[in-house]
Amino acid sequence: MTRVLIGAPVRQKPHIFEAYLASLDRLAIPDGVEVARYFILHGCPELEPMLRPSDGRRLVAATDAYEVGGATHEWRTSNFVAVAAMRNVLLEQAREGGYDYLMMVDSDLILQPQTLAVLLSRRREIVSEIFWTQWTPGSELGPNCWDYDFCSYGDGGVNRYKTAGIHRTGGTGACILISRDVLEQGRINYAPLYNVSFSGWEDRAFCIRAVAHGYKLWVDTTCPALHLYRESDYQAYKEAQHNAP
C-alpha cells in the first residue's frame, strides 16, 4: 500500500477554500494508494467546519498582515517566514506518519481529477503539476516553475513548459509531490537561507537544498491546475462550471 498525505498551509477565503476542497474530493485515487489529508489553518478558524472529520488539522494564530487585492498578492518577509514554518510542519507530519509521499497543494488551486495518479506514475523523487498565472494585470501568463535564479529561463523560455509531458526544471512549488526518500533526509526543508534574497524564497529555499543534495526537480504539464489567484479567477471558474454541459 502506497500512503500519501495531502495538505497545505491555509489562509484563505471560505468560498475559495470550498472550491479547493471540492477539487481534492474529486481526485482519482489509484488502486493500492491510501490518502490522508492534513491542513494548517493560519488565522482562519472559521474554515475548520469545512474539513472532513478524518482530516488532520492544526490551528495557528496569524500575527502577520497579508494583503490580497485585485491586482496581486502583497507578500512580506513575515508571510514567507510563517509559510515556511508551516510547510516544514507538513514535512514533519509526513515523515513521522510514515507516509510514502507528501503532496502539498496550495489552497487556491483547482486540480484535475487525474493529477495525483499522474504525479505518482512519474516515479520521481520531487515532481510538481504545472499551473499558469497572470501575476500582475496585463502581464504574460507565467508557470509555477523556473530554470534558475529568480524566475529566469533558459533556451526556449517558458514555451517549453507548454509541451505536454514531464520536464526537468530548476525550481517549483505550490502543487508538489515529495517522496519518502526526500522526507527521510530531514535536511531538505523550506526554512530561509540567509544568503538568498529572492522574493518568494520558501519554495526557492526548498529547491536549492534539494538540488544541492543531488535531487532533480521535475514538472508535469499534462493536467494543469487552475490557479484562483484573484476573485475574478474564481468568478470565471464558477461561471465555467455553471455553463458546463
What is the C-alpha separation between 148 and 42, in angstroms, rounded?
30
Taking alpha carbons only, the member of 107, 111, 94 closest to residue 178 is 94
Q: Which helix (H) or strand (E) holds 33?
A: strand 33-42
The share of the chain scoring above pLDDT 90, in percent, equals 80
Q: Do 3 and 99 touch, CB atoms closer than 8 A?
A: yes
What is the C-alpha separation between 10 and 41, in angstroms, rounded?
5
Q: What is the mean pLDDT of residues 183-204?
A: 86
**130-186 pLDDT per residue, tens:** 999 998 888 899 999 999 988 899 988 899 999 999 999 999 999 999 999 999 998
Neighbours of 5 (CB within 10 A): 25
Q: Which pLDDT score, from 0 to 100, does residue 90 have?
A: 98
Q: Would you place residue 114 in the very low, low, confident or very high pLDDT band (cuts 50, 70, 90)?
A: very high
Q: Over 60: is that where the pLDDT of 71 sits?
A: no
Task: Name the least confident of 60-64, 92-96, 151-155.
Answer: 60-64
Walk me through the domains of the chain, giving residue ranges and CATH numbers: 2-243 (3.90.550.40)
Taking alpha carbons only, the member of 124, 106, 103, 101 closest to residue 115 is 103
What is the C-alpha separation between 81 and 2, in angstroms, rounded?
32
What is the C-alpha separation between 33 and 79, in angstroms, rounded?
34
Q: Would you place residue 76 in the very low, low, confident or very high pLDDT band (cuts 50, 70, 90)?
A: low
Q: What's the mean pLDDT when you consider all of the chain?
A: 92
110 φ, ψ to 5°? -115, 115
- Alpha carbons within 13 angstroms on the beta-carbon side of residue 70 total 3
Q: Over 60: is that where the pLDDT of 68 sits?
A: no
Q: Over 80: is that where the pLDDT of 64 sits?
A: no
167 compared with 76, residue with greater pLDDT: 167
Q: Over 60: is that where the pLDDT of 189 sits?
A: yes
Q: Over 90: is that where the pLDDT of 95 sits?
A: yes
175 compared with 199, residue with greater pLDDT: 175
Residue 97, Cβ density class (10 Å: 0-12 exposed, 13-18 middle, ≥19 buried): middle
Q: Which pLDDT score, from 0 to 100, does residue 78 have?
A: 75
What is the C-alpha separation between 191 and 221, in angstroms, rounded?
27
Q: Do 90 and 8 touch, CB atoms closer than 8 A?
A: yes
Q: Would you place residue 69 in the very low, low, confident or very high pLDDT band (cuts 50, 70, 90)?
A: low
Look-up: residue for cell 509531490? 177
Q: Which pLDDT score, from 0 to 100, does residue 150 have?
A: 81
What is the C-alpha separation between 141 and 200, in angstroms, rounded?
17
Tell me, what DSSP letter sits at residue 241?
A: H
What is the C-alpha separation between 210 and 125, in angstroms, rounded?
10
| Residues in contact with 69: Cβ distance below 8 Å, sequence separation at least 6, in sequence order | none
End-to-end CA distance of the chain: 37
